[in-house]
Structure 1
């Protein structure tokens, strides 16, 4: 393994913990020393990560283990110079970073909100938490409608929406069976979570994702995406299993 590959592996080995603390990193803030403050900040993100774990993503025990590893690395290198600690925030008191990380880890792995209805439903959803539901859709909207996206490319100005989606398919092929089903599912989930065009536009066009829609209505766009990608999978990709195997 090359040095670059080794550093890349070390970086992503702690990606779950990095995601949990990303709101501090994104705004250039340290993790508060005060446990009440970081519990309040992190609760919605932990809830979002718990929900992602229910869908097959990292579970909270894995993320807690990553936090403890990060704490050990900070204990050996308070400046955070290890490749695994890239884009990790420190704490208000730098010397307490390992201690605070271990406290957060203990809280994460003992998180009981799914069994505490008052706590679970009493904390409002945040854009940061909801964004965890749509990792594929976030990337797709930015690459399609973003500043340098496909929809605003000069060569695509006169193309129809369907033609643009077929270009996406051609760029994805032959990995479509691994990438498109998840994107289709996230389009359907977006319609289930956000019930109106105004809600969809406020989240995907601004406050949550920022990918925009280049004038397209999300209530029209998402069903077209689902139909186009599903049709391609049916026509170009045979079923990936023949029978259920025990």
Structure 2
């Protein structure tokens, strides 16, 4: 199987994606640890992302592979259980937990970085590549350019696939402004948590600017994107 065929399950188990971290045999421990990600994936599901049952199915496939073909490419960097021989059983337990619908916690669990990162799939690529350390939009070739020049560069490189990319970017700009209310919060999340940046502008100014340029481009270069059937 292909490495990416189990990516949904791999994202869920990301807290255990370290050489010194294994999925606990004790289900209460992994239930508590995975709850924010499950909640985040459920939110993403409602926005058109992966379905929790799809992820459960991937976990069951992984469990079977561990039993019959543990060297399979699809299991690359796939977390193991604390007791390695119990990995298939633990993965099936997690799958059942997702399918049961009883994963919701009665505790008031605050939003965390890993959960919130699920809300920004476009930004997770765009902000590091264009405005992160050594980003394309802040490279030596762009040292005399403005933040708006960097945004135009991003849009030019997205063209002509803009109708499939830019609306999601605009949406994530709005989500960022809704979720993070101070520049300090935005810097902590988008710089430290995501590895991105906003050029020489504050994020509070950058996101509205990015959204406006995306919308303006769609209006100028791609309108109408949709017309009602007659």
Q: TM-score if structure 1 supplies the norm length?
A: 0.88
Deviations for 1:172-195, whole angstroms, at most 9, x for unmatched residues?
A: 110010011101100110100111
Unaligned 5+ segments in structure 1 are 1-6
Q: Following the alignment from structure 2 to structure 1, what is the Cα–Cα distance between the partners of residues 189 and 172?
A: 14
Q: In the alignment, is residue 82 of structure 1 matched against residue 72 of structure 2?
A: yes
Distance of 1:27 and 1:152 partners within structure 2: 34
Alpha-carbon RMSD across the aligned residues, in angstroms, is 1.7
Gapped regions of structure 2 (runs ≥ 5): none
Match of 1:96 among 75, 80, 86: 86
**Cα distance, 1:152 vs structure 2:** 2.6
Cα shift readout 1:156-208 (whole Å, capped 9, x = no counterpart): 111111111111111111001001110110011010011111211111121x2
1:61 and 2:47 matched: no
Task: Tell me if 1:44 matches 2:41.
Answer: no
1:241 deviates by: 2.2
The count of residues paired between Structure 1 and Structure 2 equals 230
Q: Which residue of 1 aligns with 2:124?
A: 138
* CA distance 1:40–1:52, change in 2 (3 Å): same
1:27-48 Cα deviation digits (max 9, x unpaired):
6411111101111110001001
1:225 aligned to which of 206, 210, 228: 210
Q: Is residue 106 from structure 1 mapped to residue 96 from structure 2 by the alignment?
A: yes
Q: How does 1:15-30 map to 2 (within 5 A)?
A: 15-26=7-18, 28-30=20-22
Query: Of residues 3, 25, 35 in structure 2, which corresponds to 1:11?
Result: 3
- Cα deviations by residue, 1:208-229 (Å, 9 ceiling, x for unpaired): 2121334421000000000011
Shift of 1:240: 2.8
TM-score (norm 2): 0.94
- Cα distance in 2 between the residues matched to 1:64 and 1:235: 43
Match of 1:234 in 2: 219
1:211 has 2:196 as partner: yes
